[in-house]
Amino acid sequence: MVGRACRRWIGYISLLLAVISLILVSPSVLAENRIKRIDITVNIDQQGNAHFIENWHTDLEEGTELYKGMQLEAPMAIRDFQVALNGQPLKAADSWNVDASFEDKAGYYGQNGQELNWGISQYGENTYQVSYTVENFVVNTTTDQMIFWEFINKGFSPAIEKFSISIQSDYRPFDYDHNRIWAFGFPGQIEISQGKIIAQSQALDSSHYGTMLIQIPAGTYASQMQTNRAFEDYLKQAFEGSDYNWQDYNPNMTYDQIQQMNTANQPDNKMSKGEIFTILGSAVAVSLSVGGWGVYTTWKNHKARRRFYPKLSERAKDLAGEYYRDQPTPSVFVAYHFLEDLQVEDVEQNIFIAGILSLISEGYISAHVDPNQLNKTMFYLAAGVGEPEAPLDKLYDLLVLASQDTGGQLVINQDRLSQTIRGNYKRYSAYLEAVDQASEEFMSSAGLAQPLYAPEKGADQLRARADQLNGRSYTDAGFAKRDDLVRYHNYLLDYSLLNERHTPEVTLWDQMMIFAAGLGIADQVEQEFNKIYPEYQQLTSYNQVPIYNYYLLSRIMQDQYRQAYNKAHPDITASSGFGGSSSMGGGGGSFGGGGGGGVR
């Protein structure tokens, strides 16, 4: 009896300790470090030296220093290293001790071998401007010159959430006639625009990095960095493990010839908005090679787009204080073309979230946090409910394909959904195409858009230019409906200011959350509802999973889809070095990186 009683008390104490430990490590009290964004600009001088300015946008709660590892080969060298915190210069330390305290590092920067180091100095949201010069940055191969650099190192901790890289040379602007460009290690785009090479990442995780390879004519810069390998040796090594296709690389073809080949090989399906803008951006970049006319054309294009087809952020600012309180279209899915034309960030991911929320709201599936991995989501398919209407039927079919029967219950875990998309990417694209078709049919039948025609004599030429750039021509009713959607966006973001506390209409709010997801503001709108009625999170159909999990899930699914699509459809333009999508892998053999970085 005594032994049983002791075991019972031990059990009670163990349970109490477990509860206390859960409280102590609750996500709400855990310190979380974030490197929200790093923006890098590089200017190459005539000697082939690179002058770096990196802006690190952070939100830090623990640690003593930030650092970036560098691996240089002689005669490469770092000089002129400086750091500023929120515009205020830090002081150079005589030496750097990585084990020193927070207080000892505060206000100082220094170098630990080939690491660049600086004290966090103050917690919270801050911007650190890191500047330095890498001597002999441009590499001479036996055939060409090149830039082959890991700008964002592997192994950053915490993972960088997004980055941008801009490379320019006041001595010799870049163009597609003389340069070819590739990017490795991240989802995003790379292009030459107005003489600069620009790479932009999408959302990132700890597996991503940022490497760029740029081909430069021999003798362009007076760099002393020399290797005994040909450029194509480096290129072939970089292609290993990448999404680029070596068979598509042709060093003798021009940009225009590659584009003609792509057009001839283009499948019948409609190009995405992103593909259209990539090609237009590249075409504008090529036009720059003829001088002032290219600059003028770029300015005219920007003016036309900004006036008639502005971004959501731009139009929301134009219509600040104006609201539309009703759902502007029958569903967010038929508004998809408006979202594309407003250049809503991550629009395909947003439409995936909106689709999942719709299926939950209509009772086709339920979502739950995976008990084994709290940042992952799992779904249960409801029994005996039939299939949803288009376009949601395509998304539902994908979920059914990914499901497993566990004792009569169809269950989908996140890892299996990822595997299903990798092996059946066309099922995922079928959903996106169905949304696109539904939106096209709605805009046509409602008289919101019209076919593109050659402008008649006397027509508004700026409007015609804007229509061609947009790839769609709105009617007056279309512009009005677009603006109603933007006003609805404003209304959702200011909901708590415009509505007094009252008993919530949860079903109506859930429908508004679907629209908010499509607009990319679901997390912000959820906060607006909680301000009015804190119990909303307990009453909503979406109460089993934090909204953040849906964003994380959509990002992973989109990455899986892009990787599978890229492997099945290697892009000749990107593989040939004329810009476009970056590769998720590859980039081996580069200089500069490999030393980690982040917070410690």
CATH number at residue 177: 2.60.40
Which token pair is 313?
A: 């952020």
Predicted local distance difference test score (pLDDT) of residue 538 = 80
Residue 573 in any domain: the answer is: no
Beta carbons of 2 and 10 less than 8 angstroms apart: no
Beta carbons of 429 and 394 less than 8 angstroms apart: no
Mean pLDDT score of the chain: 84
Q: Could you check whether the bond before residue 75 is cis, i.e. omega within 30 degrees of 0?
A: yes
Residue from 470, 476, 394 nearest 437 by CA: 394
Residue 16 in any domain: the answer is: no
- Please name the residues in contact with 320: beta carbons below 8 A apart, sequence gap of 6 or more: 490
The mean pLDDT of 29-54, rounded to a whole number, is 87
Q: How confident is residue 546, by pLDDT bands cut at 50, 70 and 90? A: confident
Is the pLDDT reported for residue 114 higher than 90? no
Higher-confidence residue: 14 or 307?
Answer: 307
DSSP string, 155-220: TEESPBS-EEEEEE-SSS---TTT-EEEEESSSEEEEEETTEEEEEE-S--TT--EEEEEEE-TTS
Which token pair is 305?
A: 């787009």
For β-strands 365-370 and 373-381, DSSP reports them as: antiparallel
Tell me the residue length of the chain.
600
Q: Looking at 48-57, 72-81, 247-256, 543-552, which range is the least confident one?
A: 247-256
- Please name the residues in contact with 209: beta carbons below 8 A apart, sequence gap of 6 or more: 150, 152, 153, 154, 156, 184, 185, 186, 587, 593
Percent of the chain whose predicted confidence (pLDDT) is above 90: 52
Q: How confident is residue 463, by pLDDT bands cut at 50, 70 and 90? A: confident
Predicted local distance difference test score (pLDDT) of residue 27 = 38
SS3 583: strand
Q: In terms of domains, do 589 and 511 share one?
A: no
Residue 370 in any domain: the answer is: yes
Query: How many folded domains does the chain comprise?
Result: 2
The pLDDT tens digits of the residues spanning 380-411 come to 999 888 899 999 999 999 999 999 998 888 99
Predicted local distance difference test score (pLDDT) of residue 243 = 84
Alpha helices in 240-367 (DSSP H): 255-265, 273-287, 292-308, 312-318, 336-341, 347-361
Q: In terms of domains, do 354 and 422 share one?
A: yes
Among left, alpha and beta (phi > 0; psi -120 to 50; other), residue 173 is: beta
Beta carbons of 148 and 131 less than 8 angstroms apart: no
Q: In terms of domains, do 89 and 190 share one?
A: yes
Q: In terms of domains, do 339 and 235 share one?
A: no
Q: In terms of domains, do 245 and 332 share one?
A: no
Domain with 140 in it:
34-249+584-593
Predicted local distance difference test score (pLDDT) of residue 290 = 42
Q: How confident is residue 454, by pLDDT bands cut at 50, 70 and 90? A: low
Q: In terms of domains, do 322 and 177 share one?
A: no
Q: In terms of domains, do 225 and 315 share one?
A: no
Which token pair is 328?
A: 């502007």
Residue from 158, 405, 198, 388 nearest 281 by CA: 198
Is the pLDDT reported for residue 272 higher than 80? no
Percent of the chain whose predicted confidence (pLDDT) is above 70: 84
Q: In terms of domains, do 157 and 241 share one?
A: yes
Q: Which residues pair with 550 in a beta bridge?
A: none
How many Cα neighbours within 13 Å face the side chain of 503?
0
The mean pLDDT of 470-499, rounded to a whole number, is 92
Q: Beta-carbon neighbour count of residue 38 at 10 Å?
A: 25
Residue 470 in any domain: the answer is: yes
Q: In terms of domains, do 167 and 112 share one?
A: yes
Q: In terms of domains, do 466 and 537 share one?
A: yes
Beta carbons of 72 and 60 less than 8 angstroms apart: no
Q: In terms of domains, do 343 and 210 share one?
A: no
Contacts by residues 397-406 (CB-CB < 8 Å, ≥ 24 positions apart): 397/427, 397/430, 398/424, 398/427, 398/428, 398/430, 398/431, 399/359, 399/365, 401/427, 403/379
Predicted local distance difference test score (pLDDT) of residue 270 = 44
Distance, in Å, from the CA atom of 548 to the CA atom of 369, rounded to the nearest integer, reads 11
Q: In terms of domains, do 588 and 528 share one?
A: no
Residue 9 in any domain: the answer is: no
Q: Which residues pair with 449 in a beta bridge?
A: 474
Beta carbons of 35 and 598 less than 8 angstroms apart: yes
Higher-confidence residue: 534 or 442?
Answer: 442
Q: Could you check whether the bond before residue 546 is cis, i.e. omega within 30 degrees of 0?
A: no
Residue 218 in any domain: the answer is: yes
The pLDDT tens digits of the residues spanning 333-371 come to 999 999 999 999 889 999 999 999 999 999 999 999 888
Distance, in Å, from the CA atom of 392 to the CA atom of 357, rounded to the nearest integer, reads 11
